[in-house]
Amino acid sequence: MYIGEIARLTGASAKAIRHYESLGLLGRVERAGAYRHYREAELQQVQLIRQAQGLGFRLAELVALLGGRTGEPDWLALAQAMARKRASIAGEVARLQALDLRLQAVSEEILGCLETTPAVLAQCDLTPPARVLSEA
């Protein structure tokens, strides 16, 4: 199949497919004269690349993982890279949850002060709520 067909089937642009090839992610692509001729293996490789990118992998990371010129992805290395990415995401989730708790505390503090009478409101230190925000 030609580049237009593989682009249509994978959702990757022709430019992206040529870029994958230049990085060595597709191995050796056959040529029919001036035209690239893609096989089923390259179609599957482009689909795998697109799926990996959708999971947050950069092309630079994929070069070592997806086999390139050897033609076969390093499945063990790919699984290990996914485990590392999941651990990184878990850390980011924990960081965001802690941030959410701090935001909730500041919001509750502000709302608590706003619910008080005007005489007591003057005692609320709302600007800036540095005590809670500085704990970040």
Q: Write out pLDDT tens, residues 32-69.
A: 888 889 999 899 999 999 999 999 999 999 988 886 55
Q: Are residues 59 and 91 in the same domain?
A: no
**pTM (two decimals):** 0.71
Flag whether 123 is in a domain.
yes
Q: Are residues 69 and 91 in the same domain?
A: no
> Residue 25 maps to which CATH number?
1.10.1660.10
Residue 62 burial (CB < 10 Å; 0-12/13-18/19+)?
buried
- Residue 120 pLDDT: 64
Amino acid in the structure at residue 112: G
Compute φ and ψ for 129, nearest 5 degrees. Answer: -75, 55
Q: Are residues 14 and 69 in the same domain?
A: yes
Compute the average pLDDT of residues 114-130. 65
Flag whether 98 is in a domain.
yes
Report how many domains make up the chain: 2
The answer to whether residue 127 scores a pLDDT higher than 80 is no
Q: Are residues 7 and 45 in the same domain?
A: yes
Dihedral angle computed from the Cα positions of residues 81, 83, 88 and 92, in that order, rounded to the nearest 10 degrees: 140
Query: For residues 132 and 34, what is the distance between their CA atoms, to the nearest angstrom?
Result: 65
**What radius of gyration, in Å, describes the C-alpha atoms of the chain?**
26
Q: Are residues 29 and 65 in the same domain?
A: yes
- Residue 45 pLDDT: 92
Q: Are residues 110 and 59 in the same domain?
A: no
Range of the domain at 126: 86-133
